Amino acid sequence: MARIPLDPPRTPLYRLTEWYSRRRFGTVAAPAAAMGHNPRVLLTTVRQEMSVEKWHTLDPGLKDLAVMAAAVTVGCSWCVDFGYWISAGKGTDPAKLRDVPRWRDSDRFTDLERQVLAYAEAVSATPPAATDEMVAGLRAHLGDAALVELTMMVAVENSRSRFNSALGLTSQGFRDRCEVPAATTPAS
C-alpha cells in the first residue's frame, strides 16, 4: 500500500500529467500521482524522463535488461512491472525479461548481456560494487559513449526504484496487459 496518498492537489500540471499518463499508459502511473504533491519534483522528473527517452547510443535491448536488473536488485515491484510491460512492448524478448532475476542460471543471455546484467547489479548495490574489470570489459564491447549511457541508465533506474520503494508504490498490473503472458513473476 502506498505510503502517500495518490490523489494530489489537482494543479494544472498534475491534470496535464494525468491526461498524458492515461493516454500513453492507459492509467495514471502511481509515481506521477505521488510526485503530484510537489509540482517542482514532478516537472523536473517529467523533463528528465523526456530527455532520457532521447538517448540512443546504447542498444535498446541491453538498456532494457540493465534497467530491469537495477529494478530487481533494488526490489521495486512497480518498476519491474512497468519495465516488463514497456520493454516487451518495444520488442525486447519477454523470456529474457522474465529471466533477469535469475540470469546467472539462465541460458537465454549472450556473454555481453551477462556483463551488462552483472554491471547493473553491481552499480545498484549499496555501496556500488562495480569493478575496473567490469568497466574495461564493457568499454571494449560498447565504447565509451554507450558505457556512459548504460551507467547513467542504471543510475536513473536506481533513482526511480528507490523513490517508488520508499513510498510503497507497488505493481499496477502493467505486465498483465502484455500480449505475451509471463510464466513467472520476477523477485521484488
pLDDT-derived band of residue 180, with 50, 70 and 90 as boundaries? Answer: very low
- We report the CATH number of the domain holding residue 159 as 1.20.1290.10
Give residue 56's pLDDT.
97
Statement to judge: residues 68 and 47 lie in one domain? no
CA distances, 109 to each of 44, 114, 123, 179 (Å): 35, 6, 19, 22
Statement to judge: residues 125 and 93 lie in one domain? yes
- Tens-digit pLDDT profile for residues 70-118: 999 999 999 999 999 999 999 999 999 999 999 999 999 999 999 999 9
Statement to judge: residues 116 and 149 lie in one domain? yes
**Which residues, 6+ apart, have CB-to-CB distance to 25 below 8 Å?**
174
Statement to judge: residues 98 and 42 lie in one domain? no
Statement to judge: residues 148 and 66 lie in one domain? yes
- Tens-digit pLDDT profile for residues 3-24: 999 999 999 999 999 999 999 9
Locate 184 and state its grid cell: 513467472
Give residue 67's pLDDT.
98
What does the H/E/C string look like for 46-105? HHHHHHHCCCCCCCHHHHHHHHHHHHHHHCCHHHHHHHHHHHHHCCCCHHHHHHHHHHHH
Give residue 178's pLDDT.
58
Statement to judge: residues 146 and 71 lie in one domain? yes
Q: Is 67 exposed, middle or buried (0-12, 13-18, 19+ CB in 10 A)?
A: buried
In a domain, 171, yes or no: yes
Longest Cα–Cα distance of the chain, Å, equals 49
* pLDDT value at 48 more than 50: yes
Statement to judge: residues 65 and 18 lie in one domain? no
Give residue 177's pLDDT.
66
Q: How many CA atoms lie within 13 A of 124 on its CB side?
A: 27
In terms of residue numbers, what domain contains 20? 12-52
